[in-house]
């Protein structure tokens, strides 16, 4: 497998598709690049190559250019707006932008125009971000890569025959192909961290309720999270800073340079998820152990940890998701079932057969599992956990898509609400990205960013891009 290691031009004279948000901020400060140049270059790139990846459902070029022009004026006048001033961001099409359609990648929602911005969009505007348009997803954030919808599924830039992960599939594909430096996704059962894993980028499921969900079409009220995605840990933290710098967040996260190192930090290593509960593919297991060696080399203290089994987490999570998903979609499923993709219709209908008692029991189990993770995190600073147990599978092999999606260790932390960061940690023998998770205490995103950044600085995975996407 060949990799393109395209990075920022040392002179800062020309736009490069792989510039990070942090690098763009620096270039703007030195006036070696302008927001207008950057947005024009990104729009040109989207037009040139996105027909291969289907990352965008709609590109809002006029609004993006107008916002870039204003950002440029403000920068020249010495009026920066915030951490993302002039930085392009792609938005999963389950999140409302006033005056634009929110399709949720579904025929059911065609023509549904948002009356107001979602809270997270308001936060991005206040932070100076440039909204580039709406990104593809799995229908209603549950279906899968479906071919019986009005919109094509996004494809994996590392190999277009393969699944980009989901449900924030367009977000992962857009980042991995260099279409945007930042993207927003949502995560109910792993839908930020799965595409991060499949596409070799970074994705955070924050602490539950840290980022407002108002204006985001729900799948499961108590499991949904809005999450930042980027190609580096620092960029992901900058996006989280913007998302939490509003009155809608219970506390603000302030991004730092992330250069403290991790000497003396206690990392709890959870191996039984991928060695016993769901046996991981060999490349993934090897990459996980190599990451452990990197952390030891950086001075961290590694401690073996056991949690309840993946099945113990999965059972109540499925009940909660299906019950809440059915409550949201029951009317549409009864009135227009044929407008849903087969895969999402089949999943959502399961909720019709659950009782109130099933739901209450699942919630009771949930509380006990939350306590179990909290107890462990009193003994260590963060947890190191597997992500997907397999590299991305072939996109049009439905049984394999279904099989591999359940082979993951993401669901526990949707159920418990703890923050979890997906970080690339290698490649399979076939050249497909691999990933791991760093999990922290409630509202301690700072610690998992610190650990993720230390690993990133000690390795080169984040510098590697699909050869097909080279400039």
CATH code of 231's domain: 3.90.1300.10
What is the Cα–Cα distance from 37 to 21, expressed in whole angstroms? 14
φ, ψ (nearest 5 deg) of residue 288:
-65, -45
CB 239 within 8 A of CB 228: yes
Number of H helices, E strands in the chain: 15, 13
| Residue 471 confidence class, pLDDT cut points 50, 70, 90 | low
Q: Which domain holds residue 337?
A: 3-469
Contacts of 226 (CB under 8 A, 6+ apart): 95, 120, 184, 185, 186, 187, 206, 211, 212, 213, 216, 243
pLDDT at 293: 98
pLDDT at 194: 98
What is the Cα–Cα distance from 422 to 232, expressed in whole angstroms? 11
| Residue 123 confidence class, pLDDT cut points 50, 70, 90 | very high
Residue with tokens 């799995």: 138
Contacts of 209 (CB under 8 A, 6+ apart): 250, 417
What is the Cα–Cα distance from 454 to 299, expressed in whole angstroms? 11
Q: What is the mean pLDDT of the chain?
A: 95
Angle between the N-to-C axes of helices 61-76 and 35-53, in degrees from 0 to 180, rounded to the nearest 10 = 150
Of 80, 328, 343, whose CA–CA distance to 218 is shortest? Answer: 328
Determine the 3-state secondary structure of 439 from DSSP: strand
Handedness of CA 464, 88, 9, 204 (dihedral sign): negative
CB 401 within 8 A of CB 395: yes
pLDDT at 336: 96
pLDDT tens track for 295-341: 999 999 999 999 999 999 999 999 999 999 999 999 999 999 999 99
Distance of CA 365 to the CA centre of its chain: 27
What is the Cα–Cα distance from 201 to 195, expressed in whole angstroms? 8
Of 316, 363, 120, whose CA–CA distance to 228 is shortest? Answer: 120
pLDDT at 297: 98
pLDDT at 81: 76
pLDDT at 391: 97
From residue 428, alpha-carbon distances to 1, 4, 157, 193, 433 in Å are 10, 17, 15, 18, 6
CB 409 within 8 A of CB 392: no
What is the Cα–Cα distance from 179 to 201, expressed in whole angstroms? 13
Number of domains in the chain: 1
pLDDT at 14: 57
CB 10 within 8 A of CB 471: no
Lowest mean pLDDT among 161-175, 185-199, 204-218, 242-256: 242-256
pLDDT at 434: 98
Active site residues: 92, 167, 191
Of 226, 201, 68, whose CA–CA distance to 132 is shortest? Answer: 68
Adjacent-strand bridge partners of 269? 304, 384
Residues 181-186 have a mean pLDDT of 98
Asked whether the predicted pLDDT for residue 426 surpasses 90, the reply is yes
Residue with tokens 């960061």: 421
Asked whether the predicted pLDDT for residue 13 surpasses 80, the reply is no
Asked whether the predicted pLDDT for residue 351 surpasses 60, the reply is yes
Q: What is the CA radius of gyration of the chain?
A: 21
Asked whether the predicted pLDDT for residue 465 surpasses 50, the reply is yes
Residue with tokens 């980022």: 211
Contacts of 356 (CB under 8 A, 6+ apart): none
Residues 409-423 have a mean pLDDT of 98
CB 369 within 8 A of CB 308: yes
Residues 26-55 have a mean pLDDT of 96
pLDDT at 82: 87
- CA dihedral 368→372→378→381, nearest 10 degrees, is -120
| Residue 5 confidence class, pLDDT cut points 50, 70, 90 | very low
Contacts of 274 (CB under 8 A, 6+ apart): 280, 284, 285, 288, 386, 389, 409
Residues 8-24 have a mean pLDDT of 72
pLDDT tens track for 360-410: 999 999 999 999 999 999 999 999 999 999 999 999 999 999 999 999 999
pLDDT tens track for 145-171: 999 999 999 999 999 999 999 999 999
pLDDT at 79: 86
| Residue 9 confidence class, pLDDT cut points 50, 70, 90 | very low
Asked whether the predicted pLDDT for residue 1 surpasses 60, the reply is no
What is the Cα–Cα distance from 126 to 242, expressed in whole angstroms? 8
């Amino acid at each position: 497998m060949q990799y393109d290691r395209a990075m920022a031009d040392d002179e800062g004279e020309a736009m490069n598709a792989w510039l990070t948000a942090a690098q763009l901020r620096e270039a703007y400060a030195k006036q070696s690049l302008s927001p207008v140049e950057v947005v024009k270059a990104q729009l040109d790139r989207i037009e040139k190559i996105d027909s291969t990846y289907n990352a965008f459902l709609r590109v809002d070029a006029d609004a993006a250019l107008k916002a870039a022009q204003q950002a440029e004026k403000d920068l020249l006048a010495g009026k920066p707006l915030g951490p993302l001033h002039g930085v392009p961001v792609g938005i999963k099409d389950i999140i409302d932008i006033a005056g634009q359609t929110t399709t949720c990648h579904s025929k059911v929602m065609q023509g549904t125009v948002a009356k107001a911005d979602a809270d997270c969009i308001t936060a991005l505007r206040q932070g100076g971000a440039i909204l580039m348009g709406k990104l593809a997803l799995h229908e209603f954030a549950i279906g899968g890569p479906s071919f019986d919808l009005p919109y094509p599924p996004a494809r994996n830039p590392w190999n277009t025959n393969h699944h980009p992960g989901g449900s924030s599939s367009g977000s992962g594909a857009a980042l991995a192909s260099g279409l945007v430096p930042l993207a927003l996704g949502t995560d109910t059962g792993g839908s930020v961290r799965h595409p991060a894993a499949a596409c070799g980028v970074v994705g955070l499921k924050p602490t539950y309720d840290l980022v407002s969900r108002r204006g985001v079409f729900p799948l499961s009220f108590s499991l949904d999270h809005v999450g930042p995605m980027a190609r580096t840990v620092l960029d992901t933290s900058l996006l989280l800073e913007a998302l939490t710098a509003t009155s809608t967040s219970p506390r603000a996260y302030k991004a730092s340079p992330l250069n403290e190192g991790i000497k003396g930090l206690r990392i709890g290593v959870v191996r039984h998820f991928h060695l016993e509960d769901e046996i991981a593919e060999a490349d993934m297991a090897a990459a996980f152990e190599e990451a452990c060696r990197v952390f030891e080399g950086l001075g961290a203290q590694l401690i073996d940890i056991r949690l309840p089994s993946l099945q113990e987490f999965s059972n109540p999570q499925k009940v909660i998701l299906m019950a809440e998903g059915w409550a949201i979609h029951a009317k549409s499923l009864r009135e227009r079932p044929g407008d849903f993709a087969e895969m999402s219709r089949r999943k959502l209908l399961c909720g019709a057969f659950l009782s109130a008692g099933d739901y209450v029991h699942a919630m009771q189990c949930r509380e006990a599992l939350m306590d179990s993770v909290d107890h462990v995190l009193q003994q260590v600073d963060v947890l190191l956990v597997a992500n997907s147990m397999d590299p991305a599978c072939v996109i049009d092999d439905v049984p394999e898509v279904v099989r591999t999606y359940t082979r993951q260790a993401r669901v526990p932390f949707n159920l418990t609400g703890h923050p979890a960061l997906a970080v690339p940690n290698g490649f399979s023998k076939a050249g497909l990205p691999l990933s791991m998770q760093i999990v922290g205490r409630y509202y301690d995103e700072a610690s998992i960013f610190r650990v993720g950044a230390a690993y990133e600085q000690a390795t080169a995975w984040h510098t590697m891009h699909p050869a097909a996407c080279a400039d």
